[in-house]
Chain A
Amino acid sequence: MKAAAAGYVRANDLSHAISLLAASEGQARVLAGGQSLIASLNLRLAGETALIDINGVTELCGIALDGDVLRIGALTRHRELATSDLVARHAPAISQAAPLIAHAAIRNRGTIGGSLAYADPAAELPACMIALDATIVVQGPAGRRGVRATDFFIDLFTTDLGEDEMIVAIEVPACAPGERQVTMELARRSGDYALAGIVLVRRENGARVAFFGVGPTAVLARAAMAVIDREGSPDEAAAVLDQDIQPLDDVHAPASVRLHLARVLLRRALNATLAAEVGHV
């Protein structure tokens, strides 16, 4: 189908983008990479919305290490996540996740901020944020605030973002010596949304496990994490996963298949961290 859009403005800088967003009173959306937003405009799923194009806003670009925090600008493309040395060194889970996102032509345009704001439950990056205990930095007319990833994703395609706010950056605790991170997924076809996916982060103070594609949001698997932290086996951790995730039947797979795949991924990811070099698999 052909897109519906009720108007378009190119933002010159961040304050311009935010003032446009505030002035639109909920009638405009931020256009970053557009790889989900333009698709939903074409499918007429996005309603009658105007667009604020932030692709020229340089303040939202760039990846930098600041002490023990890796700061990733919201406009960072998936391709940059996949090829950045800083991301590979300090957030290997994101580095491993990025090539799994869609296809090369999509990764050239799609952005981390866009993916997080869209909050697709089957997307890789929200799960990375939850497993890494990242902070999503958002800004609106009232100023800037940081939201813990676990508080940011509320429901299917629903986040803590206010109507007049946008994501400006992501702050990820940098991978510490000895820390291990793994992102894996199972999809029927390369580039498809995963039937199930996992992000496992093993830190000195405990494991964090997030799953995607198995519920209305990416989800932290707390019961499995507790088993891992008390040195339980991969099988024991997998056994309690039904306490953490309750997938629904859908056209792609019955719930029992997704739960099974999640268990397979958890065992594989745990075994990979046991065998892996520090931080990398």
Chain B
Amino acid sequence: MSDIAGFPTKVDISLTVNGERVEARVDVARHLVDFLRLDLGLSGSHAGCEHGVCGACTLQVNGEVVRGCLTLAAQLDGAEVWTVEGLTDTGSLADLQAAFVSRNALQCGFCTPGMLFAAADVLASGKVPSRAEIREHISGNYCRCTGYEAVVDAIETVARSRAGGGEASA
């Protein structure tokens, strides 16, 4: 890779990942998922298609869900990143994770971390989404197992439970 004058090929970044401060010098072509998996050892974010289609790398940057494979680590100076490991530790995904387990809402599980972020995102407003709205929201996380009926069940169950309706359909 030839250098272009004035454009460094490595940059220094300082960010927080799962609440912990991280300082690193990264190759500018390194995307966020590889940075997390290969440099920080956080393998919960999955690298699937690496062009934004499969959603397995979905995680949170500055409070918004994004595709980790379509975000460069170099862009993240000052950012706050949360992965499935971090949100498992804080417990903020605990009810979703329990519902995914009890509904058997996965087959191979490769999509699950990204699916949890998509699920948390559709529930963030606090409203109980319709099944159609849930399907629309997880449509960016489809892989190929077709096991999504149970995923919709799990998300719907948590939505109702969070809204105070308990395990309405369980």
- Point out residues on A near B: beta carbons under 8 Å: 1-10, 20, 23-24, 27-28, 31, 34-35, 38-39, 41-43, 48, 50-51, 53, 55, 102-106, 108-109, 189-191
Contact = CB atoms under 8 A, between A and B. Distances in A.
Interface stretch (B15-23, B65-73, B90-98): B65-73
B66 A105 contact: yes
Contacts of B1: 4, 6, 48
A24 B3 CA distance: 11
Given A8-B7, A41-B29, A105 B2 contact: no
Contacts of A50: 4, 7
Interface stretch (B100-108, B137-145, B149-157, B162-170): B137-145
Nearest to A42: B50
Contacts of B52: 35, 38-39, 102, 106
Tell me the dominant secondary structure on chain A's binding face.
loop
B58 interface: yes
**Which secondary structure dominates where chain B touches chain A?**
mixed
Contact of B70 (A6, A7, A39, A191): A39
A105 B28 contact: no
Contacts of A48: 1-2
B11, B64, B71, B140: most-surrounded residue (chain A CB, <10 A): B140
Interface of B: 1-9, 11, 28-31, 34, 50-52, 55, 58, 64-67, 69-72, 74-75, 77, 117-118, 121-122, 135-137, 139-142
B65 A7 contact: no
A23 to B, nearest CB: 6
A160 B72 CA distance: 28
6 tightest A-B contacts by CB? A7-B7, A103-B140, A8-B28, A50-B7, A39-B51, A190-B139
